[in-house]
Amino acid sequence: MAYWLYQLEWVLRLFVAAICGDLVGYERKVRLKTAGMRTHMLVAVGAALFMIISKYGFFDVLNHANSVSLDPSRVASQVVTGIGFIGAGAIMTVNHKIDGLTTAAGLWATAAIGLAVGADMYVIGIAGTLCILIAQTIVRRIKALKRYPNRSMIRLQVTLNGKLSDMDALPERLKIIGSSHVHMRILAYKPDSFFLEMQIRLVRRTDPDDFILKMSHLADVKKIDVLD
């Protein structure tokens, strides 16, 4: 009976780690980041599993060989090292700017959450999850308020690939992702690209950073710079 109680306790830890990772990943998914719910969940569950194995997986060896000693912290340190490879894969350069640093740091912190839950430190793991969510949501919104005092209006300089005639279809494409009115001024153009200054009024409750992120993923958009 005691054996199965231990097993259920370990399974519970995996489920708690999965939920914590899923919460962090959901915020990244909503922001259209490279690592979403599945990636964060797998990182948290994997880290918790490594910690459980590290703490409890060698009892049979220790019971039969009194001269054998183990350091459970070594597995945790290897998890921290290994997660760096996944984090590096989340960092990329988009429009000449580095993107993915927050996601990479979130993956690293999610691994720490998994280790904490796997070590039976539920309160620390859940508190860590809340701290990450605060950093990724509330702090980001405060930063956005400073960057965009008038959140309903943004000014951009945009470089697009294509012919100048393609500019006519741009306002309709921007309406799909959250604009209500677009004013454009041509700054320069070439046969295969053009450079615009844009003043964009956003639909109510549209986050400026989210809008710019979605705009950067449009097929012809090459570069976006935010104007003060």
- pLDDT at site 67: 61
179 three-class SS: strand
Ranges of each domain in the chain:
2-136, 150-227
Predicted pLDDT at 28? 81
User: For the whole model, what pTM was predicted?
Assistant: 0.65
The average pLDDT across 32-47 equals 85
The DSSP line for 106-133 is HHHHHHHHHHHHHTT-HHHHHHHHHHHH
In this prediction, residue 112 carries a pLDDT of 92
Looking at residue 12, its pLDDT comes to 92
Per residue in 190-225, pLDDT (tens digit) is 888 888 888 888 887 777 878 888 888 888 888 888
Please give the CATH topology (third level) of the domain spanning 150-227: Alpha-Beta Plaits (3.30.70)
For residue 95, pLDDT over 60 is answered with no
Indicate whether 153 pLDDT > 70.
Answer: yes
